[in-house]
Amino acid sequence: MADYRNLIDGEMVDNGEWLEVLNPANEKVVGRVPACGKDELDRAVAAARRAFKDWKKTSPEERQKVVQGIAAAIKENADELFRLLTSEQGKPHAQAQQEIYGAAGLAAAQSTLTLDDVVNQDDDTRLSRTRRVPVGVVGGIVPWNFPVMMAIQKIVPALVAGCTIVLKPSPFTPLTTLRIAELIKDVVPAGTVNIITGEDHLGPMITEHPDIDKITFTGSTATGKKIMEGASGDLKRITLELGGNDASIVLPDADVEKVAEQLFWSSFSNAGQVCIAAKRVYIHKDIYDDLSKAIAEYAKTVVVGDGSQQGTGVGPIQNKKQYERVLELIQDAKDNGYKFLTGGDKDPSGTGYYVPITILDNPPEDARIVAEEQFGPVMPLLKFDSIDEVIERANNSEYGLAGAVWTKDTDKGVEIAEQLETGTVWINEFMHLSPFSPFGGHKQSGFGAEYGLDGLKEFTYPQVITVKRDAAV
């Protein structure tokens, strides 16, 4: 067990008060982090404000160099970082490795993004151009499912845009982020990146802080609503990446053997704790029996266990609260007599937050386990008859994050995608995010974007400068 300190104004610091972080695989303490409040937040925000004065004037090339330094620091220490990530988050080593290398890759790729001026008018009377100006000090708040990726996808575009940032990891998963803070302490200019830890109550202090200009938040829809309220006091800019209840639609021409394994991982990667996991899988009636059988057969080959052990495919749920919520949804399905293809038989008394791979056989559309975001290793398979019907069912959700269509007829897939009310739709794959394409939700999955130039723009405001050319002065 080790102590991890916060990064404030270029120094690793603590306040003598500590929060313990548990390993969800065995419920043992793996590390401690500072339990911060208003004082530490004020210090971090003041440092970010001071640093902003110089950082906003740096050239894109200077910023690119710093961000590439972050990417290199993560990559060079990937081995240590992915093991630490598994120990606090629970995900199997291979998936933790993907997250760490993915975060380094994202930083390297996004370091190259620039927002060029746009000329609006250029004639004898006026030259008018729009430039993108960094908003100032950003407050970043992240969840526990992809703690490193989410931290990097907020820190990097903030820096690239010319902003400085105060970032708060989830109290459940702050360790790897703080280790990265230590690694980049001398890579980033003092005060440009500040990382402070604390319980949930630190969140509202950030959203309401008068010297923070923008909030970028990833987390639940319920918290997103509170953030919107908290940020309204001084009309802070906000980007909200919230929950999802993504639908996968499998057309009758899909090859059962080829898609079974991919569909499985679209729901069970990271133990289902992915905002863009397939949480409702609609299968055409002509292939429903064969495909559901193939998915259930594949599920039997996947080991649920401690993510640090070789061979584990699905790790524990990250924290007790979420574990109890997933068990409650499974119990509700049992109480209602829905049919299980796998799972549903867990004795919740052992050590570690393990939930068996749970696949449901065509439960009703209004079952809680279908209508709510499960955020666990649960996959309801649902039978459909016609395309119009399945589009209506897929869209019948308060969420609008992502979705997928599986078919050999990619034109048909695109035609269906265009009718889905979500920010992203994949044809014949899932969860693929590009550093250069915007990612964001519709409806109660949030608004604004991350990734790509659209994501970068969210850290700026447009300033139009117009020169009157035929002025009489």
Closest CA to 317 of 257, 378, 365, 366: 378
**Is the separation of the CB atoms in 14 and 34 below 8 Å?**
yes
- List the interface residues with ligand NAD, window 87-116 (CB under 6 A): none
Q: Which residues pair with 404 in a beta bridge?
A: 248, 426
Two structure tokens written together for 379: 């996959």
| CA distance linking residue 72 with residue 250, whole number of Å | 40
Under rule CB under 6 A, residue 312 binds ligand NAD: no
Nearer to ligand NAD (CB atom), residue 51 or residue 141: 141
Under rule CB under 6 A, residue 241 binds ligand NAD: yes
Under rule CB under 6 A, residue 227 binds ligand NAD: yes
Nearer to ligand NAD (CB atom), residue 92 or residue 198: 198
CA distances from 330 to 225, 244, 322, 336, 347 (A): 27, 19, 12, 10, 12
Helices (H) and strands (E) in the chain, counts: 15, 25
Task: Give the per-residue contact string, 165-204, with ligand NAD (x = CB under 6 A; - = no).
Answer: ---x-xx----------------------------x--xx
Two structure tokens written together for 132: 């993108």
- List the interface residues with ligand NAD, window 400-429 (CB under 6 A): 401
Write down the catalytic residue from 208, 275, 373, 458. Answer: 275
CA dihedral 316, 320, 324, 325 (to 10 degrees): -90
- List the interface residues with ligand NAD, window 268-287 (CB under 6 A): 275
Q: Please state the closest distance from residue 293 (CB atom) to ligand NAD, in A.
A: 29
Q: How large is the C-alpha radius of gyration of the chain?
A: 23
Under rule CB under 6 A, residue 245 binds ligand NAD: no
Per DSSP, 189 falls in state P
Nearer to ligand NAD (CB atom), residue 43 or residue 279: 279
| CA distance linking residue 122 with residue 119, whole number of Å | 7
Under rule CB under 6 A, residue 36 binds ligand NAD: no
Nearer to ligand NAD (CB atom), residue 102 or residue 203: 203
- Known active-site residue 163: no
Contacts with ligand NAD by CB under 6 A lie at: 141-145, 168, 170-171, 200, 203-204, 207, 218-220, 223, 226-227, 241-244, 275, 373, 375, 401, 441, 446
Q: Which residues are catalytic?
A: 241, 275
